[in-house]
A and B are shown apart, each in its own frame.
Chain A
Amino acid sequence: MERLKKRFSLLSAIIDALIEPPETVGYPFTKLELPETYRGAIVIDPEKCTGCGLCVRDCPAQGLELVKKSRHEFKLIHYPARCAYCGQCSISCRRKAISHSNQLVGSTSNPEALVVVLKEKEDEEQG
């Protein structure tokens, strides 16, 4: 009897599965709920970023590039197609300027189209 009970213990789960709605989400037609902490698209707070390059140094996937034109002019570029969404840049940044949002990055057949300039700083003196 005990054995029989054990054998049919999945039965209730199977009946539940018949009644319950599917566990899958019909993305992109249904909204995908991602946890707050999800490591999605990279965002930057341009006020805080000083162009120190710590994030670039520790990025394992060459997802960031710092182009220095002069002492005060720099450009921080992010390549989403190379990025591993690992979160290292946000940990390496001492000023907490760079971080992840919990948004997905769209897929594309043209990776160049995704490239974003996170911050571009021109020399103020030159105007």
Chain B
Amino acid sequence: MQNRISIPIGPQHPLLKEPLSMMIDISGEKVLGGSMRLGYVHRGIERLAEQRNYIQNVLLIERVCGICSHVHTTTYCYAVEALLGIEIPPRAQYIRALMCELERIHSHLLWLGILAKHVGLETIFMHAWHDRESSLDIMEAISGGRVSHAANQIGGVSFNLDKAQAEMIRSTISNLRTQVEGLLNVIETEPALHARTQGVAPVSAEMIRQYCVVGPIARASGVDIDLRRDDPLPPYDQLEFKVITHADGDAWARTLVRAQETRESLNLCDTIMRDMPDGEVLVRAPRKVPPGEAIIRSEAPRGEVFYYLRSDGSENPARVKIRTPTLSALSMIPAQLAAIQVADIPVVLAGIDLCVACADR
């Protein structure tokens, strides 16, 4: 084709904060397609996990992802507990879920900020990231760590909540709700955001199934999947919440789904704080895990996280397999890039909410 130009984006590029290398073919203002290279942040975590004991692995697996670190350790711990045949105290289940929801709020607000920045709405970016601090503050105050919370232990969680902390969580959540509602009002009515995202790179439900895409991207295309409802880990089977879906499948639908999920997560935090039972948060777990296999899935902010664990009866796992939601979303990028305008590339890339560190592991 005439005037075909290939532009490299990444692995270090102002447009893309994630270490991903893209080669995008353009002709004039039209994007013809693209290809990508992965693996810049491959750390060999699955292999490293085989050389450490189950307890050390909790902290290693926390490093799979810098944004949704807690949901990874939660899934891993439930898998180890399934192999051990122990059940953790109900209060620990609720604290795990509370952290998961706070993480979802922080992840979605972070993403919203990135999208807003890419479409040139710096004010929304600043406000989204300001609001996100509240959820990080709660997590830091209760667990002791802002990014790596180290909240999970095999057999429960490593901290309990006292009355003052519970009160602090309730009041921070209530303030955060006011801020988020303000933000949602703006998002839902801001014409500049509509104009930049509506109708951009729509993905059909069929394509979602074809590429096995999960999470908010799938829900924005009308595929009604959410593991918190479909295959719930405790205590989600006892919690009421709405699964947000949208039919359009474009960047706008993804924005709405994530924004409304943030609201839903705030409600869930309230429910969790209301229903949280009293009692212990940690039971003693044996160091040696009986031989066997376990598969546990859970809903991370970006979709399904899958853990496969095989034990040979020793202190170290024989195999830890991690599947993260970003991997399937990445495979869909070339198809999404075909036939869009060059100016829409940031919207498509940001709209996916990539976490390359998760995908590379």
Contacts and interface: CB of A to CB of B under 8 A. Distances in A.
Contacts of A87: 144-145, 150, 158
Given A6-B185, A10-B123, A91-B158, A35 B190 contact: no
Given A9-B182, A10-B183, A87-B150, A35 B141 contact: yes
Interface string A27-65: 000000001011100000000000000000111110000
Nearest to A102: B144
Contact of A39 (B57, B144, B153, B183): B144
A60 B57 CA distance: 7
A100 to B, nearest CB: 7
A85 interface: yes
A39 B56 CA distance: 17
A30 B239 CA distance: 43
A9 B190 CA distance: 11
Interface in B49-106: 52-53, 55-60, 62
Interface string B180-199: 00110110111000000000
Contacts of A13: 127, 179, 182
Instruction: Determine the main DSSP class of B at the interface with A.
Output: helix
A60 B59 contact: yes
Nearest to B48: A60
B53 A58 contact: yes
Interface of A: 3, 6-7, 9-10, 12-14, 23, 35, 37-39, 57-61, 84-88, 91-92, 100
6 contacts: A6-B189, A10-B127, A10-B185, A37-B141, A57-B53, A86-B145
A92 B154 CA distance: 12
Nearest to B191: A7
B154 to A, nearest CB: 11
A14 B130 CA distance: 12
Contacts of A57: 53
A57 B52 CA distance: 10
Contacts of A92: 55
A19 to B, nearest CB: 15
Contact of A88 (B56, B123, B144, B188): B56
> In which size bucket is the chain B interface?
20 to 34
Contacts of A12: 182
B341 interface: no
B143 to A, nearest CB: 7
Contact of A35 (B52, B62, B144): B144
A36 B133 CA distance: 18
A11 to B, nearest CB: 10
B144 A38 contact: yes
Contacts of B158: 87, 91
A37 B142 contact: yes
Given A35-B140, A37-B143, A38-B140, A60 B185 contact: no
B308 interface: no
B306 interface: no
B318 to A, nearest CB: 19
Contacts of B267: none
Given A10-B185, A23-B133, A39-B145, 8 more contacts: A7-B189, A9-B182, A10-B127, A13-B127, A60-B57, A86-B59, A87-B145, A87-B158
A103 to B, nearest CB: 13
Contacts of A100: 144
B148 interface: yes
Given A37-B144, A91-B153, A84 B183 contact: no
Contacts of A37: 141-144, 159
A60 B52 contact: yes
A10 B52 CA distance: 49
A100 B150 CA distance: 13
A89 to B, nearest CB: 11
Contacts of B55: 58, 88, 92
Contacts of B143: 37
